Each structure stands twice: as structure tokens, then as C-alpha cells.
Structure 1
Amino acid sequence: MIITSTNIAKPTTIIWNGKEVKTGIYKKPVNQPILLGNQIVKNDEVSDRKHHGGEFKACYLFSEDQYEYWQRLYPNLDWELGMFGENLTIFGLNEKDIYIGDIYKIGSALVQVTQPREPCFKFGMKFGTQEVLKQFIDHGFPGTYVRVLETGFVKTGDTLKLVEKAKNSISTWQFFDLLYSKEKNADHIKLIMDNKALPKRKRDKLKSFL
């Protein structure tokens, strides 16, 4: 896996249900290294601190491999890397191969896979339709958030090197399916309900389905 683009956003105001809403989803590629902090990426706009940023969502990764699929669905959009609001566009990232709790070295930073992205109305606004939310969920390749165990700079061309494989875990792809499936996989819940790479509130919610 290799970084093909580093992306940050300036605050952008959109209109949602007649109200002004600030967002940081409109990320643009930058030519210099970016600093992964333990709460946010430095100089990146994180408008909604309730749902973005923080320990378990410090940085968002999305696979460049998925771009072709979405470009076919939405050929008229102004496409560039960072389109999905990701801080790091990664060639070769496959959600079926990365597991909740996996630890990677990227550049001089050390990160841990935490949870997949759950799309919201701002994602729909960017794509011009709220229908894209269901399409995103059905497609099943949402990218992943990471928490930053050791802050550091990353740049285009840096590779993701697996440092420690999570034990007794499930893949990001399986966890995303678990979040949205009506019939919850009890075995998957049992595997991750004590996984400290997930925030406690999310683990507690999943336990309620057992």
C-alpha cells in the first residue's frame, strides 16, 4: 500500500435544510508532507468535532482503487484525489485485508486501524444526491479511520508497513457490514467487543445486539 495523495481542507459552507453548515469534506491534494496529530491532521478543517477528528478518527484513509467504480457512477463530477474527504489516498488499500486494531508505520507516524467511515448528508451534498449514501453502504468499501499512536509526517510515496497484526479481530469490510446489516453476526461482535481500537460507546452499542 502506498500513499498517492495527501489531502487537507479549508472550511467550506454549504446550505442544508435552509441552514448554513460548515464542513471539511472538500479536501484538496497538497504537495508537501502533512502532520498526523493524535486528534486531527494539522491544518485540516474538522468542523464537526462530534463526528470527526478525535482519538479514534484522527485521520481518514480511502483507497484509490475504488475511484474507478465511483467515476463510472458519477462521470460528471469534478474528479480529483481527496474526493471522498480522505486525508490520505492509498493505492492498494483493501478493506477485506485490513483489520480493526492493525498497527501500521506510515512515514514517521505510527497509526492503528479503528473504524470505517459512515457516510452522512455532507457526503451526499458533495456528490449532488443523498442517494449516494445507500450506494456507498451497499458497495461496502468505505475506507478507514485511524488513530495516531505516534505523531509524524507522511507524504506522497510513503508506504504502509504492517507493524502488528490485530488478534481476535475482524476486517474493516466485515465491521462495516456489521454496522449496517439487519441481522448482526454474533460471532463478529464477540470477536471485537473488547477491541480497544474501537471507542467504548461503539463496542457497548454492538454488545446490545447479543
Structure 2
Amino acid sequence: MADDSASIESQGLFVGDLRQLPGVGSLTGMFKRRADAPVALAPEGLEGDRQADRTHHGGPERALNHYPAEHYDHWRQEYPDLADQFEPGLLGENLSTRGLTEADVHPGDVFALGTARIAITQPRYPCFKIARRTGIRNFAQVVAQAGRSGWLYRVVEPGEVAPDDVPARIEAAGHGFTLARLWKVRNDPAPDLDEMAALAELPPLAESWRQAYRSRREYLLQRGAD
């Protein structure tokens, strides 16, 4: 397929060690620093990058976190009094770009990134820590409702990533469900049940997301039968 990376611009590559989350005291890997040299990417993620809560963050299916810089433009408009903080890296992502959003990508899409190969597994589901990080109450819910959460990759082939490398799609999933569509279905108060059934069995999508569609569909069917 055609290389669409020419329209994508790098906004930074980020890694971080564990630090205490203000106001909570628990450790977090959200505080990233901008990499200024190539970084090795292995199945568990970038060298030097850590996650505190390994149940909900990190691991082979969530090895790399991508957040579009376009969303920071949106949040600056939504929260003008806090606009100065909305810069790439704020929400704990490893990779930030312009030119690629949830409307453009699908679970199962494979990209070349530097000498590595990565595949999208799921949208990132935001947790409470981004509210603590930004000082915006319920920001996790706001981000999820807007579907502006970024996404996660697994590593297909390890390699090395430079700070200015951008993902180049080398294989597109054929199912047609963009990440934006996944969020729309998940947030819809009256979703299409056939669409939910398809998403519940979508092979490239992470099991946690498939289970969420499966469970909600069963609930809606049961409610309709009552």
C-alpha cells in the first residue's frame, strides 16, 4: 500500500521512570522526558520507560502509547486557563505526531517505526491519573467521551526508534473499524447491536475491549427482554 508517512510529523519520543503522583502518593510512569537520541524498542516497550501499575498499563499488548498532538490543540481551546500545560508528553505518551488521529487508524494496522514494526491493539482507555496530572476533575471521563485518547501498540519486530521517526503504515487492517468508530459505538447510549457483535469478535482488537462490547451487548439484550 502507499506510504502515508509523508503527511505525518513527529512531535516527540518520550520515556520516563517512576515518580510519585501529586496528591495521591502512588507511583506513576506518566512523567516522561523527551528522548534526544535513538531508543531501543523491545516487546515490553522502549528502553528506559516504566509503568507502575502493570495490571492496567504496559505489557506486550500496550508496549507503546501514541497520542496525537492535534488533541492538545483541542484541549487548549477547551481549557484556556490551563492551555500552557497542553504540550506533547503531558499525558504520558511515548510517541506524539501530527497527521494521524483515531479517525485514520484501525486495530491491526501495522506500521514501520524506525527499524521496528508495531501494530495497533486498542484505543488507550484513560485512567484517573490524567486528571491528577492536569488538575482537571473527571478529565479521564471527558477524554473517553470525546474519543481523544490515543492508542496502544504491540511490537511485531523489535528495533530502534529515533526522536524524529514517524510511523509509516505498511499493512492496513481490512475490517474497516477505525478507532474513532470504536469509541462512537462504546459511547453510544443506543448502539447498533450487530456492530457491537462484530467488534466483540474482532481478532486484532485487544481482549479487554472485545469483552467490554460483549458484556454491554448482553446487558442491552437482557434489558430489552425484560
Q: AA paired with 2:106?
A: Y
The range that moved more, 39-48 or 180-189, is 180-189
User: Which structure is larger by alpha-carbon Rg, 1 or 2?
Assistant: 2
Secondary structure of the structure 1 residue equivalent to 2:184: helix
Q: Equivalent of 2:40, from 35, 49, 53? A: 35
1:101 and 1:169 in contact (8 A); partners too: no
Give the Cα–Cα distance (whole angstroms) in 1 for the partners of residues 21 and 141 of structure 2.
Answer: 21
Q: How many residues align?
A: 208
1:147-162 to structure 2, matched below 5 A, reads: 147-162=154-169
- Report whether the alignment pairs 1:9 with 2:16: yes
Q: Equivalent of 1:163, from 159, 170, 193? A: 170
- TM (norm. structure 2) is 0.83
Aligned twin of 1:63: 68
Q: AA paired with 1:41?
A: L
1:40 and 1:46 in contact (8 A); partners too: no
Q: AA paired with 1:165?
A: A
Secondary structure of the structure 1 residue equivalent to 2:168: strand
Measured after TM superposition, the shift of residue 64 of structure 1 is 1.3
- Report Cα offsets for 1:72-124 as digits up to 9, x if no partner: 31543434421121100111112111011111111111111111111111100
Measured after TM superposition, the shift of residue 191 of structure 1 is 3.3
Give the Cα–Cα distance (whole angstroms) in 2 for the partners of residues 74 and 83 of structure 1.
Answer: 16
Larger strand fraction of residues: 1
Aligned twin of 1:188: 195
Aligned twin of 2:25: 20
Q: CA RMSD for the aligned pairs?
A: 2.0
Aligned twin of 2:58: 53
Question: Structure 1 unaligned runs (5+)?
Answer: none
2:72 and 2:86 in contact (8 A); partners too: no
Secondary structure of the structure 2 residue equivalent to 1:20: coil
Q: Equivalent of 1:82, from 84, 89, 103? A: 89
Q: AA paired with 1:115?
A: Q
Aligned twin of 1:177: 184
Secondary structure of the structure 2 residue equivalent to 1:99: coil
Question: Structure 2 unaligned runs (5+)?
Answer: 1-7, 219-226
Give the Cα–Cα distance (whole angstroms) in 1 for the partners of residues 173 and 197 of structure 2.
Answer: 15
Give the Cα–Cα distance (whole angstroms) in 2 for the partners of residues 55 and 182 of structure 1.
Answer: 32
- TM (norm. structure 1) is 0.89
Larger helix fraction of residues: 2
